[in-house]
Amino acid sequence: MCGIVGAVAERNVVNILLEGLKRLEYRGYDSAGVALVNGNELSIIRRTGKVSALAEAVEQSKSTGLDKGTTGIAHTRWATHGGVTEANAHPHASQDRFAVVHNGIIENHKPLRAALTEKGFNFVSDTDTEVIAHSIASYMQDGGDLFNAVQQAAASFEGAYGTVVLDKTTPDKLVVARSGSPLVIGLGIGENFLASDQMALLPVTRRFIFLEEGDVAQITRTSVEIVDANGEKVEREIIESNVEHDAGDKGGYRHYMLKEIYEQPHVLRNALKGRITSDGLVDGIFGANNAKSADEIFSQTQYVKIIACGTSYHAGVTAKYWLEQYAGVQCDVEIASEFRYRKSFVPKNSLLVTISQSGETADTLAALKLAKESGYMSSLSICNVDGSSLVRESALSFLTRAGAEIGVASTKAFTTQLAALLMLTLAIGKHNGMSAETADDIVSALISLPAKLEETLGLADEIDELAEEFSDKHHSLFLGRGDQYPIAMEGALKLKEISYIHAEAYASGELKHGPLALIDADMPVIVVAPNNELLEKLKSNVEEVRARGGLMYVFADKDAHFEDDDTMRVVNVPHCMESVAPIVYTIPLQLLSYYVALIKGTDVDQPRNLAKSVTVE
Ligand code: AGP
């Protein structure tokens, strides 16, 4: 989704800004732009398409000297209001003096636009962002300085924004405001930076201040002043980042997604390290909140509510099966965008669990905010990004340690979320009479998981070959039962995201209640079939498909005894323990979607219309 980078320095900042934008490319965008102040000269360059097109345009402007500036802001736009055009790309300007970049949506942009037009401001784009530029210009007409004008303007906005403002008449500073969309200040030596994601600034600094909701800050080369939502001056903690990521490094793989698929055994080892041993779960790994340890909270938990979006939601649905089956606690899972707009009942002693790779998903954050006001006993976030809004705003947090995930299609974040949720199952189950035998089984399944995933990755060539058969297909059906149903959902999501083939997932018991009507030879049916107690039921569903001429691709345990024939291609997945089977069976489905996308020639790491981190509603 949209990305922001800004810098105030003594040197020309254009390359810092462009490199920052490149590092944010993975988030998904459709146009890019930069505004630079050199002396008192403001130049704005914008292009639709990739950051490389913007970099080329900057290069071409060398002869005019407009490619330089000691202060600048830059942006990658993911269109919400107004089409993908140069006029709609950020930065937006007012009076050839103020330049603004913005992430989020100003929901009351229409009345603001009307009022500003009345005052004589001329709008040249279809965006909601342009009202920010003209609002600030309007407040500046009434006197005062840029900081006050941004504060006043921010007070008139409804919706979400992370915005940065530059005034060419005071070129030594940038003013930023945050409400709903993340912003981080990067501290340099004699220069300072800001961005919507620390990833953008890793080449220039590792020291960050994460702005909080309602903060407005002024940044110069040598100072950072922050005022909170109440207008009080505040000092925010400086955090030393240990994020490892070189955006330019695909580690020899053709795509980040493939690299991230292959990283899974390694990141799973990291996720388990220091948290689980052959003696069981290590005490205290879910932390504490003020006076109460996570363990005390879990001992009182009678109901778990999980909220997330997309792939993270699928992890939550898998966890529902685990928490109810192994930990004996009632659990419901809900999509964040649904939860946030309905009245829901909160049973006594309820624990809220949010799951997110980025920790910045707008709907999940809004759901957490709502839940905190609705009487949940405590909140736990399972998240991949330390210092993210979700982590900071939850009472307890558990980091998945998947490392930076660049591919828009989530892979290693998902499997580490599942490992985290299985550890949560152990932690809650301990208080609910989970038998020692079940606990030991889960512990040893988790310990052997990284090696099992390595073995499963050995299926890549076989799956690559099989993917050929999908290249001319337009639709597909994924089937699973029990805790493999959410894995089928995740497999379908992966395939549609990166290959653009329509894919639907069904709990296979639902087949005859409708989807069976779709079955013919043009509809590949993908089945996940570990050797569990539901196998015989699943086999009946497979026969229902076979009888209607459907073509099946079955990912199955060898002992499930499926065999290749005219109607069925079988891929034998290494035998694994039941509790971790959802994690193991995820791997072949990730590989399948990757190889199908490769054949279809789509943009695997940045699929069309999608963003990595969905920071608007
Ligand atoms: C997964 O492949 C997606 N691109 C998407 O569904 C993602 O999982 C969703 O947007 C939630 O993101 P989060 O985990 O960062 O909150």
The pLDDT of residue 246: 58
Quick one: 249 exposed, middle or buried, by C-beta within 10 A (0-12, 13-18, 19+)? Answer: exposed
pLDDT of residue 575: 94
- Binned at pLDDT 50, 70 and 90, residue 537 comes out as confident
- How far apart are the C-alpha atoms of 254 and 435, rounded to whole Å? 46
Residue 242 has pLDDT above 80, yes or no: no
Here the tokens at position 223 are 């100072």
Helices then strands, counting H and E runs in the chain, come out as 18, 29
| Cβ of 307 below 6 Å from ligand 1 | no
Kindly state the tokens that stand for 503. Answer: 């894919």
For ligand 1, atom 16, name the residue with the nearest CA. 356
Supply φ then ψ for residue 136, to 5 degrees.
-65, -45
**What is the average per-residue pLDDT within 387-393?**
87
Per-residue model confidence (pLDDT) at position 39: 83
- At 521 the pLDDT is 83
C-alpha 208: how far from its chain's center?
20
- The predicted structure's pLDDT at residue 332: 97
Ligand 1: which atom is nearest the Cα of residue 308? 16
Which one has a higher pLDDT value, 136 or 249?
136
Highest mean pLDDT among 57-71, 234-248, 482-496: 482-496
Mean pLDDT, residues 182-204: 92
| pLDDT computed for residue 387 by the predictor | 80
Q: Is 312 in the pocket of ligand 1 (CB under 6 A)?
A: yes
C-beta of 584 in contact with ligand 1 (< 6 A)? no
Ligand 1 atom nearest to CA at 612? 4
Residue 459, pLDDT score? 97
Residue 248 has pLDDT above 80, yes or no: no
pLDDT tops 70 at residue 153 = yes
Average pLDDT of the residues in 219-241: 93
Q: Is the pLDDT of residue 212 over 70?
A: yes
The most confident of the ranges 326-330, 530-534, 604-608 is 326-330
Give the model's pLDDT for residue 267: 96
Assess whether 320 carries a catalytic annotation: no
Q: Which band of pLDDT confidence, cut at 50, 70 and 90, is reported for residue 244?
A: low
What's the confidence (pLDDT) of residue 150? 95
Tell me the pLDDT of the chain averaged across its residues.
Answer: 92
Active site residue 50: no
pLDDT greater than 70 at residue 572: yes
Is 613's pLDDT higher than 80?
no
pLDDT of 535 above 90: no
Classify burial at 354, counting beta carbons within 10 Å of its beta carbon; exposed 0-12, middle 13-18, buried 19 or more: buried
SS3 51: helix
Rounded-to-integer distance, Cα 167 and Cα 182, Å: 22
Residue that wins the pLDDT comparison between 37 and 470 = 37
Among 464, 502, 506, smallest CA distance to 484 is for 506
Q: Determine the average pLDDT of the residues in 184-208.
A: 92
| Distance of CA 405 from the midpoint of ligand 1 (Å) | 11
560-581 mean pLDDT: 91
Q: Using DSSP, state whether 228 is helix, strand or coil.
A: coil
- Neighbouring CB atoms inside 10 A of 412's CB total 29
The answer on pLDDT for 235 being more than 70 is yes
Q: Please work out whether the CB of residue 492 comes within 6 Å of at least one atom of ligand 1.
A: no
3-class secondary-structure state, position 595: helix
pLDDT at 612 over 80: no
The pLDDT of residue 610 is: 85
How confident is the model over 50-65, as a mean pLDDT? 89
